Amino acid sequence: MKVVVYNLGCKVNQYESDGILTRLSALGYEVADSLQYADAYILNTCAVTNEAEKKSRQAVSRCLHYNKDAKIIVCGCASQNDSKQFEGKNGVTYISGVANKHIIPEILEKKGVYVAPVLEEYEEELQPDLVRTRAYIKIQDGCNNFCSYCLIPYLRGRSRSRSIQSIVKECERLQQVTNEIVLTGIDMSSYGLDIGTTLTELIKNLSHIKIRVRFGSLEARVITEELLEATKNLINFCPHFHLSLQSGDDNTLKNMNRKYTTDYYYDKVKLVRQFYPQAGITTDLICGFPLETEEEFNNTLKFIDKVKFSDMHIFAYSKREGTVAAKYKLLDGEIVKRRTKLAEEIARKNKEEYYKSFIGKEVDVLIEKDGGYTKEYVKILCSGSEGSIQKVIPKLYDAKQEVLI
């Protein structure tokens, strides 16, 4: 029997999906992680935006395109948010939510809707054995932030941390089969609050890990001298910090319930650069948040140009029913498009400037299918065996592809 596990969400979802794939393989199933002909499909869905949820629903039809008689199991954030959007769809036999994904390989024949309440303690996952270019390691789940635009705390629950011992053990195992691990979670910056420890303590316990260690997304509040000192003691730390921003205006940040100011955020950026002068600093930005005035958006443009991020993920605001921001009147779509375009222009300019600072310098590149990435997460087109680390001296910047060559 062939089973496809198709991931539609974040890196945490990817970790969970890989764990399901590993278990299915151990049980004797033929497995795959891309849509193709199969007897059964497991869809690990996403609900971070309306578009993500729409793609999760459409994935059901895409599976039936390959096999109209297939069984389809739906799990993840979209079904946790609203299981009814999947009930009654052709092929869907089993629906669960974000909890108990580890039992899915054992219940492929089961039918029904079993969306459990979110958990109060960390749920140990099925640990992946898949060898990818880099390995993701989930260190926590849930979120305590309750940003006014975001559904995830309601779907994933409060922050729950995995034990340091469990994380270290998995890192030790994975360094035998890959050259980079990425620590990830729904809200990594809250790691340890529920179990009496901190992200800094976790990093101190990884000082013996020889392969590259990279952070997933972080909140500015977690950046301290103590944390940065701990990263200096890692054998192979990747100085790439994805510091979630969302807006560069203090009033908009307040309306988003982001709990920091731009001055506070910028102080954290300066602290990172004090320890790592050429660090890659990336971020997320929401354009078109309700209540955001033209003046506030202009403040955002000035701020992102001041910080000079090495790369940015820029999104148009997506209204999510059930959040505080959902009650606000949406901005005109053309205004949102214009603001998004203006932010993207600044992001491209600063990315090019940052990338060009590496020209003529020897860097270590982790090779993927089409080039690879430096420790700072700079994309370089080069050749080599996938998964290997090659020394490369980039010579020029390709503005069309936004990569070094």
- 102 has a pLDDT exceeding 90: no
Q: In one letter, which amino acid is 141? A: D
Cβ-based neighbour number of residue 248 at 10 Å? 25
Q: In the block, which residue shows the tokens 């039936």?
A: 64
pLDDT tens column, 214-225: 999 999 999 999
Per domain, the residue ranges of the chain are 2-114, 135-356, 363-404
- 73 has a pLDDT exceeding 90: yes
- 74 has a pLDDT exceeding 90: yes
Q: Note whether 322 and 274 are within 8 A (CB).
A: no
pLDDT tens column, 18-32: 999 999 999 999 999
Residue 188's nearest CA partner among 165, 211, 167, 170 is 167
pLDDT tens column, 151-170: 999 999 999 999 999 999 99
pLDDT tens column, 176-206: 999 999 999 999 999 999 999 999 999 999 9
| CATH of the domain spanning 2-114 | 3.40.50.12160
Give this prediction's pTM: 0.94
Per CATH, the homologous superfamily of domain 135-356 is tm_1862 like domain (3.80.30.20)
- 136 has a pLDDT exceeding 80: yes
Structure tokens at 37: 């002909």
- 118 has a pLDDT exceeding 90: no
Average pLDDT of the chain to the nearest whole number: 95
pLDDT-based confidence at 39, cuts 50/70/90? very high
- 92 has a pLDDT exceeding 90: yes
pLDDT-based confidence at 124, cuts 50/70/90? confident
pLDDT tens column, 268-285: 999 999 999 999 999 999
pLDDT at residue 262, as a whole number: 98
- 119 has a pLDDT exceeding 90: no
